Structure 1
């Protein structure tokens, strides 16, 4: 069957369009490779490979970082264990030294107590008393009146109290009228120009003893004034002066009992 002239013209036009169309890479490729270029799964496959490579790279990187951190942590832990061991050994040594020092102190203290309360005479015979040498027993307490210090060593109230504590006592506390009369009478026989500090001072607008009790008889002392402490002038009474002035002092401590001597000797014999 013969083609019509119109059909032949259309065929020529189509052929010309095919000739003038740009040549694509896949058109030059062999038939089997053209399938790859035209496959819709190719971009997805490339993305998967890229993600896989990225994941592997990140895994290698983080594994390296974690490994370095583990090495660092292990090293720091070893250092901490070493420091802890050194601290433990040092602490143990300090405790041992402290125990040794305490034992030596207790032995020395016991020896000092024996020598102070039970001095030996020229025949090495010991005679014990409730108060150490130089202290006077008044009722159940021992007192020492610092009136004959050479050279004179007056102190502020705080300094005087610290000095009494260093002697194993404290500034005197007067509990009743009888004890007050005895102490004032003793001071009258050993007077000093400015009187003796006592363990009484103004706290919060109230006269208060160092044992925490309040002055019960207001007639013994002038009205309280902040920053003032009490001084005994013997039979001339008590007076209030500023605590930073300097005076001598009366120290006191509890008189030892028979039980105290027994405990002291038993400890010393251990």
Structure 2
């Protein structure tokens, strides 16, 4: 079978054209669809990344602000702590100084107490010696002592010693307070009357009394009441009888006079008690317990 050369040449050219078609031609045909999908996917992913970045930026910004506030608070607290430390250090210094002063005062007081105790012991020894000499004097410089219930110048009545300050001259008289102070210096006090025996002794030693001169004892008006120096209220009284008017006749009473502050009781022998001003100058009687011998 004979073939047409021209036809064969055309067939060969077509085959050559087919074989030598460039590869990109195919790619150019398929590429547009692939690129479009990739771009859409990348765009979506990029948008998600941008959203995540925005969220992270917001989170980081909030965390940064919180951290800043926290740091500021820490700075304020630190400054406050430093201030408090400074104040405490100042107070510690002040307290240390005060403690040192108190320690010095304590040492001084301890020293004073020791001195007082030493003086007190010496005083007790002196008083003991005085008591021995007063109650148990040596007769005619003999070593043997003769003890008495009352010291020299005091008078024994039952279990009590009395001393009568009965100076004739008014210069030797004292007010109620002054006279009591003298009694206290003699380790004694005023007479207190709670029974008939004590009143008998008070009246007995109130010698040489007159209408204007008597003897102080331990009764005075205080706080609107008559009170004894031992703190007890007046229950037994021996006031001078006072006349009172009663229709149709007079009668006498021993009721206590009005308890006016500043008034003290005065003993007048064989007459009774009178209420006079405590500031008057009068004689007085002291008493104390007798020594058991």
For Structure 1 versus Structure 2, the TM-score category normalised by the shorter chain is 0.5 to 0.7
Instruction: Give CA-to-partner distance per residue, 1:130-187, whole Å, 9 cap, x none.
Output: 1111111112111111113777232222222222112111111244434544543443
- Structure 2: give runs of 5+ residues left out of the alignment: 1-49, 242-253
Aligned residue for 2:276? 241
CA distance in 2: counterparts of 1:49 and 1:217, whole angstroms = 94
1:93 is displaced (CA, Å) by 1.9
Q: Give the secondary-structure state (helix, strand or coil) at the position aligned to 2:161.
A: strand
Change (3 A) 1:120 1:54: same
CA distance in 2: counterparts of 1:161 and 1:177, whole angstroms = 23
Aligned residue for 1:138? 157
Q: Which has the larger radius of gyration?
A: 2
Q: Does 1:168 align with 2:187?
A: yes
Q: Give the secondary-structure state (helix, strand or coil) at the position aligned to 2:139.
A: coil
Change (3 A) 1:47 1:163: same
1:235 is displaced (CA, Å) by 2.7
Aligned residue for 1:216? 236
Q: Give the secondary-structure state (helix, strand or coil) at the position aligned to 1:131.
A: coil
1:204 is displaced (CA, Å) by 6.3
Q: Does the 8 Å contact 1:205/1:224 carry over to 2?
A: no
CA distance in 1: counterparts of 2:110 and 2:277, whole angstroms = 48
Q: Does the 8 Å contact 2:217/2:267 carry over to 1?
A: yes
Change (3 A) 1:149 1:52: same
1:107 is displaced (CA, Å) by 0.8
Change (3 A) 1:45 1:209: closer
Q: Does the 8 Å contact 2:137/2:147 carry over to 1?
A: yes
Q: Does the 8 Å contact 1:198/1:230 carry over to 2?
A: yes
Q: Does 1:256 align with 2:276?
A: no
Change (3 A) 1:123 1:91: closer
Aligned residue for 1:225? 258
When structure 1 is superposed on structure 2, of 42-51 and 140-149 the one drifting more is 42-51
Map 1:1-270 onto structure 2 (within 5 A). Answer: 39=54, 41=57, 43-44=61-62, 46-48=64-66, 50-125=68-143, 126-148=145-167, 152-188=171-207, 190-191=208-209, 194-203=213-222, 207-211=226-230, 212=232, 214-218=234-238, 222=254, 223-227=256-260, 228-258=263-293
1:118 is displaced (CA, Å) by 1.8
Change (3 A) 1:240 1:75: closer
Report how many residues are paired: 221
CA distance in 1: counterparts of 2:186 and 2:103, whole angstroms = 42
Q: Give the secondary-structure state (helix, strand or coil) at the position aligned to 1:197.
A: strand
CA distance in 2: counterparts of 1:218 and 1:186, whole angstroms = 15
When structure 1 is superposed on structure 2, of 179-188 and 225-234 the one drifting more is 179-188
Q: Does the 8 Å contact 1:116/1:132 carry over to 2?
A: yes
CA distance in 1: counterparts of 2:108 and 2:205, whole angstroms = 54
Q: Does the 8 Å contact 2:137/2:146 carry over to 1?
A: yes
